[in-house]
Amino acid sequence: MSELAKKQGLQVVVFRLSNEEFAIDIQQLREVLKYVDITRLPQTSHFIEGVINLRGDVIPVIDLRKRFGICEGTIDARTRIIIVEITDQLLGLVVDQVSEVLYFSGDQIQDPPKGIIGDKSRFIRGIGKKDNRLIIILSPDMVISSEEKVELRELLPEQEAVA
């Protein structure tokens, strides 16, 4: 977590993948769409779902559930595509549900626990703690730039760390 975020806190958008709560920095979020049909792309990573039309722009979409090795979720009325901006480019992320916008003050954000998840910490900006909830704040840049396989459980701090 950057020093600045620690000082000023961080406003995030919280979403669900399976039963876990994740978040991304609201500064990186452009909009949240209802699930739309995705055009499949051949010969790309397994987690790249395809491309969608966002008001005339063709943008790639990643299924975060597949990215983190959670079994393919079903698509229902709550499924959303969140559009994030990464180095001037737009990217869609399929998530199970978008729940709320939260504010974490500096002292509510912890660095990713290095010892536990090793180099996978690159995917995480920090861990937000609030009212007994534990929310992983993702770094979307890493989510797409790496081909590396990541399992969700690797991202989760062990239960004792929570307690």
| Single-letter code of the amino acid located at 100 | E
Is residue 136 within 8 Å of residue 19, measured between CB atoms?
A: no
Among 7, 55, 77, 119, binds another protein (CB under 8 A): 55
Give the type of residue at 156: L
User: Residue 63 or residue 135: which is nearer to another protein going by CB?
Assistant: 63
When the beta carbons of 111 and 148 are compared against another protein, the nearer one is 148
Determine the interface stretch with another protein among 25-33, 34-42, 110-118, 120-128 (rule: CB under 8 A): 34-42
**Is the distance from CB of 129 to CB of 112 less than 8 angstroms?**
no
Cα 7 to its chain centre, rounded Å, is: 23
Q: Does 142 bind another protein (CB under 8 A)?
A: no
Structure tokens at 157: 């701090």
Tell me if 97 sits within 8 A of 80, measured CB to CB.
yes
Angstrom distance (rounded) from CA 45 to CA 103: 34
Residue 56 makes contact with another protein by CB under 8 A: yes
75 binds another protein (CB under 8 A): no
Question: What x-and-dash track marks residues 76-115 binding another protein by CB under 8 A?
Answer: ----------x--xxx------------------------
In DSSP terms, 13 is beta-bridged to 24, 101
Positive or negative torsion for Cα 6, 7, 12, 15: positive
**2 or 44, CB closer to another protein?**
44
Q: How far is the CB of 64 from another protein (least distance, A)?
A: 15
The residues binding another protein (CB under 8 A) are: 37, 39-44, 48, 50-53, 55-60, 86, 89-91, 144
